[in-house]
Amino acid sequence: MNAIETKKLTKSYGKSRGIMDIDLEVKEGEIFGFIGPNGAGKSTTIRTLLGLIHKDSGEAKIFGMDCEGEREKILKETGYLPSEVFYYENMKAIDLLRYSASFYKKDCSKKIKELADALGLDLNKKIEDMSLGNKKKVGIVQGLLHSPRLIILDEPTSGLDPLMQQTFFELIQEENKRGATVLFSSHILSEVQKICDRVAIIKDGRLIQTQKISELQDNSYKKITFHVKDNPLDEFQLKGATNIEIKGQTVRFIYRGDCNLLLEKINNYPLLNVDISEPSLEEIFMHYYSDKNK
Ligand SMILES: Nc1ncnc2c1ncn2[C@@H]1O[C@H](COP(=O)(O)OP(=O)(O)OP(=O)(O)O)[C@@H](O)[C@H]1O
């Protein structure tokens, strides 16, 4: 069974674009990355899945249950860390977490303590006396305290220092080993790359690609840089070339296609230097975002 499944899921905010025709399949047990730039539609998808906002059309299911009709059951099985956490400021962390735990009708005190210890969180502090990072930690404990079957993380690392991010990734990996499925939304590819098996890329409200992280680094993409002698270039075009940047006598682009055609094309120029290398994941990612891939 898929942990998450959406079919043509669509939500618009009046004139403002939300998400369109999102087909998403997250398998039970995987750590799935959901990546896209600010405003791409990640939070809208997540909020629709959690029944926090109503879809306009399409289907959304979690563990086969309808996200609107069976919301109560879904929430019991799901842990959610929103991108921004808001709390009653004058509550102590422990009181807030006990209150959250009461919703699940099971004893979560051992798990709360374990998570707080791992994150170095003082549970007896009032929320109003906490830094942004510590408030985020409260959110993490709140999302994981009931050992959910599905964990949905929306930009979870903002506000955490690099060491704490590492601890957080380890916690998530442990939860995954325990059997939890994880949906990890982020605009930072390098962090998604660290722990995810597959990734879906969303842009302008539409899913443009779902791939294994290992396939994203598929060596069929090349990064090409060449420098010409004498006169600067003002134009370069080649089928399969994207993210073309021309600066004076230097041309850079990402290429996927027949290498004979590439060399034939470059050979037309009075060359000073040519460099063909593996693009970084970040550069491949930019390739998906480029206008030519709309
Ligand atoms: N409450 C709202 N009212 C109107 N438009 C909205 C609302 N929430 C989101 N949008 C619009 O929907 C689109 C998708 O936004 P969303 O917050 O889902 O993106 P995101 O990928 O989560 O971005 P970010 O990383 O910035 O949170 C954007 O164009 C945004 O302006």
Which position has the higher pLDDT, 166 or 39?
166
Residue of minimum CA distance from atom 13 in ligand 1: 18
Shared domain for 122 and 158, answered yes or no, is yes
The CATH number given to whatever domain includes residue 243 is 3.30.70
Ligand 1 centre from 39 Cα, in Å? 5
Residues 6+ apart with CB under 8 A from 67: 48, 49, 50, 51, 55, 60, 61, 74
Please state, in angstroms and rounded to a whole number, the distance separating the CA atoms of residues 266 and 252: 12
For residues 239-245, average pLDDT: 91
Shared domain for 16 and 102, answered yes or no, is yes
Shared domain for 96 and 180, answered yes or no, is yes
Which of 24, 42, 83 most suits a substitution to test ligand 1, by most atoms within 8 Å of the C-beta?
A: 42
Domain stop point among 192, 215, 238 = 215
Domain stop point among 215, 232, 250 = 215
The CATH number given to whatever domain includes residue 59 is 3.40.50.300
* Tokens 């959690």 found at: 50
Please state, in angstroms and rounded to a whole number, the distance separating the CA atoms of residues 122 and 279: 43
Residue of minimum CA distance from atom 11 in ligand 1: 18
Q: Which of 114, 108, 113, 190 is nearest to 148 (CA)?
A: 108
Domain that holds residue 22: 2-215
Neighbours of 164 (CB within 10 A): 18
For residues 212-231, average pLDDT: 82
Please state, in angstroms and rounded to a whole number, the distance separating the CA atoms of residues 55 and 270: 56
For residues 161-185, average pLDDT: 95
Residue of minimum CA distance from atom 12 in ligand 1: 18
Which position has the higher pLDDT, 95 or 233?
95
Mean pLDDT of the chain: 90
Mean pLDDT check: name the lowest of 62-71, 196-205, 257-266, 274-283.
274-283
Q: What is the pLDDT of residue 289?
A: 64
Whole-number percent of the chain with pLDDT over 70: 95
Please state, in angstroms and rounded to a whole number, the distance separating the CA atoms of residues 156 and 178: 20
What atom in ligand 1 is closest to the CA of residue 47? Answer: 18
- The helix (run of H) or strand (run of E) holding residue 228 is strand 222-228
Q: What is the pLDDT of residues 122-155, one digit of tens each?
A: 999 999 999 999 999 999 999 999 999 999 999 9
Please state, in angstroms and rounded to a whole number, the distance separating the CA atoms of residues 166 and 118: 11
Q: What is the pLDDT of residues 60-114, one digit of tens each?
A: 999 999 999 999 999 999 999 998 887 788 899 999 999 999 989 888 999 999 9
What atom in ligand 1 is closest to the CA of residue 202? Answer: 21
Task: Kindly indicate whether the ipTM for this predicted assembly is greater than 0.85, answering yes or no.
Answer: yes
Ligand 1, pocket residues at CB < 6 Å: 13, 16-18, 36, 38-44, 83, 187
pLDDT confidence tier of residue 218, bands split at 50, 70 and 90:
low
Ligand 1 centre from 187 Cα, in Å? 13
Burial 75-97 (b: 16+ CB within 10 A, else e): bebbbbbbeebebeeebebbebb
User: Computed over its alpha carbons, how large is the radius of gyration of the chain?
Assistant: 23
Q: What is the pLDDT of residue 217?
A: 64
Which of 16, 50, 83 most suits a substitution to test ligand 1, by most atoms within 8 Å of the C-beta?
A: 16
Record the pTM.
Answer: 0.82
Res. 288: pLDDT tops 70: no
Shared domain for 70 and 193, answered yes or no, is yes
Ligand 1 centre from 44 Cα, in Å? 6
Shared domain for 205 and 269, answered yes or no, is no
The DSSP bridge pattern shows strands 250-255 and 271-277 to be unpaired
For residues 249-276, average pLDDT: 93
Total domains in the chain come to 2
List Cα–Cα distances, 111 to 91, 132, 193, in angstroms: 20, 22, 28
* Tokens 């499925």 found at: 181
List Cα–Cα distances, 8 to 13, 50, 61, 107, 202, in angstroms: 16, 16, 12, 39, 14
Yes or no: say if 197 and 213 are a contact pair by the CB < 8 Å rule. Answer: yes
* Tokens 């510590």 found at: 134
What atom in ligand 1 is closest to the CA of residue 155? Answer: 25
Q: What is the pLDDT of residue 293?
A: 46
Shared domain for 64 and 130, answered yes or no, is yes
Shared domain for 119 and 198, answered yes or no, is yes
Shared domain for 63 and 98, answered yes or no, is yes
Shared domain for 159 and 200, answered yes or no, is yes
Ligand 1 centre from 202 Cα, in Å? 12
HSE-up of residue 234 (Cα within 13 Å, Cβ side): 0
Ligand 1 centre from 41 Cα, in Å? 6
Please state, in angstroms and rounded to a whole number, the distance separating the CA atoms of residues 32 and 183: 5
Which position has the higher pLDDT, 192 or 48?
48
Yes or no: say if 189 and 35 are a contact pair by the CB < 8 Å rule. Answer: yes
